[in-house]
Amino acid sequence: GRALLVLLLSATVSLLGGLIFGYELGIISGALLQLQTDFHLSCFKQEVLVSAVLIGALLASLAGGILIDRHGRRRAILVSNLVLLVGSLILTLARSFIVLVLGRMTVGFAISVSSMACCIYVSEMVAAHQRGLLVSLYEVGITVGILLSYALNYIFADLDEGWRYMFGLAMAPTAMQFLSILFLPVNPVKLSSWDSDCQKGLIPLQDAEDRAAAKREPYQEKHYSFLDLFRTRDNMRRRTLVGLGLVLFQQFTGQPNVLGYASKIFHSVGFQSNSSAILASVGLGAIKVVATLVAMALADKAGRRVLLMAGCVVMAISVTTIGLTSRMAPLAMARDCKAATGPNASHSLTQHPLTPVFPQSAVSPIPPASGAVKSQAGPGFAATRGLTKVFSSTQSKEVVPSSSLSPKRDLEGQSKKGTLESTGPPLGAASWAQHTVLNWITLLSMMAFVSAFSIGFGPMTWLFLSEIYPAGIRGRAFAFCNSFNWAGNLLISLSFLDLIDAIGFSWMFLLYGLVGVMAVIFIYLFVPETKGQSLEEIDQQFSRKR
């Protein structure tokens, strides 16, 4: 009975941790539409507000590792919950732009610490044969959290100051996670002495072998300095290479940007109305949730390495397909964020296809005519527009900056270009039919990419990071890799438009395909299989191999 209780509580902590992460990254999309009107936000201010979470998260990944290693995983999660409650309260009561930015940074800091601590805590709490399942549950939480944030964006879209409710509701899952973890034991890894409480079966989930190892672990726990990550001691350098490789390939396969064209693709395939747009975005979200559930079920059976390689192969094929089809049937391109001016200020943020949309799922195909943007100001419109402004993550911590992150120079490019080009049918009916077929191929490739990411890089990267380092430095090592994840994400998202200008859209995606192939080779050569092994066995496996 007790074992089951601990198992359920561990699962709850993992799921809620992901849910909060996804929710906080997704909710800004709908909130921004209202904030833009209420606070008269310029383009630059929207950029700042959207990237505030990233800045907070980067700070946390630099400082959070020390907190997790020094004070234990459980305490780190509790502290991050308290910080998140404070951040949500600041946002709910905010009366000025500065306070909003401060609140979002606080939230970013909290979800980053929580994400690292949750994965490590859960991986150390449970037996080897359940670890993949429970750590992957975190990723399921993220996808569900993002879908939930869209549903609430839609519900509160027409409410006066609805953004206060959007930000405030994050307190509910945070409080639930705080209470859940109070009933879980202090992680055995962090106990300096194996006291009698532990011998009463503190880790009932672990089998006899694991329990014996865990009893020995506090005595054997080695102390590492941060610089040991780059030394040959216990083969730490190789572990760091594996960790950084996974994190950087996760970003450089183009994940933050592949859905940048999603809105345009949905529109060109024929999703014209707002309700069908919302339906399409929820559909992609649902695909992602299902794919992540599949990964969760297979993590402990098929193994991490197999899922990573399979996911990578499918991702490489699908981005290459998008690259090739876009060469044959070029999609119209427009990009920028217009400052809120004029009577239609609240709706003057131009919908544009290069907006990195909801990383995992949501997509908004608003017809790309400037007039349409201004005329459709109904409730459905606000919500759909919200879908495009998302700034999310993957965790898979995958974070996708919205259009507001695209650099200011795009404004000049847009003014020279004039109005947005619309995707009207070409002259010949036959060529139009071919165009439609190619667009559907692009759409299906995008769905394949989303699924493959959710099965491979999405959950597996974080599962590996919580397994491959020794207990004494796990927190700092995870945080170090995580900081590269956030930084790589920012770099990819911000350089996207420049690269498109330099080499063109289709070459960009063919380049992502090439990176995907390199990722498969990297995983094959450097990443070992860790399924079914206790954390101690994984540690020994890495220590031995040169």
CATH number at residue 126: 1.20.1250.20
Q: Looking at the structure, do residues 318 and 169 belong to the same domain, yes or no?
A: no
Same domain? For 526 and 443 the reply is yes
Is residue 477 located within the same domain as residue 532? yes
Least confident of 88-92, 160-164, 375-379, 407-411: 375-379
Alpha helices by DSSP H, listed for 329-456, are: 370-375, 379-388, 410-417, 429-455
Q: Are residues 170 and 261 in the same domain?
A: no
| Helix, strand, coil tally for the chain in percent (to 5) | 75, 0, 25
pLDDT at 366: 30
Q: Which amino acid is at 39?
A: F
Sign of CA dihedral 330, 332, 334, 335: negative
Predicted confidence band of residue 47 (pLDDT cuts 50, 70, 90)? confident
Task: Tokens 């939230």: give the residue.
Answer: 107
38 and 181 in one domain?
yes
Retrieve residue 197's tokens. Answer: 């409480």
Across 7-16, 203-212, 381-390, 484-493, least confident range: 381-390
Does residue 506 sit within a domain? Answer: yes
> What is the structure's pLDDT at 332?
54
Q: Is residue 278 part of a domain?
A: yes
Find which of 188-197, 285-294, 390-399, 420-429 is predicted with most confidence, using mean pLDDT. 285-294
Residue 333 has pLDDT above 70, yes or no: no
User: CA-CA distances (angstroms) from residue 282 to 146, 279, 537?
Assistant: 10, 5, 41
Q: Are residues 33 and 168 in the same domain?
A: yes
Tell me which of 138, 165, 187 is where a domain ends: 187
Query: Are residues 478 and 534 located together in one domain of the fold?
Result: yes
Query: In this structure, what token pair is assigned to residue 500?
Result: 């498109």
> From its phi and psi, is residue 356 left (phi > 0), alpha (psi between -120 and 50) or beta?
beta
Burial grade of 336 (CB within 10 A; 0-12, 13-18, 19 or more): buried
Give CA–CA dist 110/87, Å, rounded. Answer: 8
Q: Decide if 282 is inside a domain.
A: yes
Are both 177 and 233 inside the same structural domain?
Answer: no
Q: What confidence score (pLDDT) does residue 81 get?
A: 97
User: Mean pLDDT over all residues of the chain?
Assistant: 75
Is there a domain that residue 419 lies in?
A: no
Residues 246 and 313 in one domain: yes
Question: What is the domain range of residue 249?
Answer: 228-333+432-545
Decide which of 134, 156, 187 is a domain's last residue: 187
Dig out the tokens for 327 from the structure.
């060469």
- Which segment of 66-80, 121-135, 195-209, 495-509 scores lowest on mean pLDDT? 195-209
For the segment 494-543, what is each residue's pLDDT rounded down to a tens digit?
777 778 778 888 888 899 999 999 999 999 999 988 888 888 888 888 88
How many whole angstroms separate alpha carbon 345 and alpha carbon 41?
Answer: 10
Q: Quote the pLDDT of residue 383.
A: 36
Domain end (from 135, 161, 187): 187
What is the per-residue pLDDT across 373-394, written as a single tens digit (0 to 9) for each? Answer: 322 233 333 333 333 333 333 3
- Residue 487's pLDDT is what? 87
Residue 218 domain flag: no
The number of domains in the chain is 2
Of the candidate ranges 22-26, 108-112, 261-265, 453-457, the one whose mean pLDDT is the lowest:
261-265
Q: Measuring CA to CA, which residue among 211, 265, 305, 256 is closest to residue 445? A: 265
Tokens read off for 413:
């490019």
Q: Can you give the pLDDT at residue 43?
A: 78
Same domain, 9 and 131: yes
Between 528 and 82, the higher pLDDT residue: 82
C-alpha distances (whole Å) from 176 to each of 9, 75, 80 are 11, 16, 13
Mean pLDDT of 255-280: 64
User: Do 127 and 268 sit in the same domain of this protein?
Assistant: no
Residue 400: beta bridge partners? Answer: 392
CB 271 within 8 A of CB 384: no
Of how many residues is the chain composed? 546
Contacts of 182 (CB under 8 A, 6+ apart): 78
Specify whether 442 is located in the same domain as 528.
yes
The string of DSSP letters for 388-402 reads HT--B-TTT---B--
Whether 510 is covered by a domain: the verdict is yes
Lookup: tokens for 233: 């001691």
Per residue in 87-134, pLDDT tens? 999 999 999 999 999 999 999 999 999 999 999 998 888 888 888 888
Q: Tell me if 533 is assigned to some domain.
A: yes
Q: Is residue 514 one of the residues assigned to a domain?
A: yes
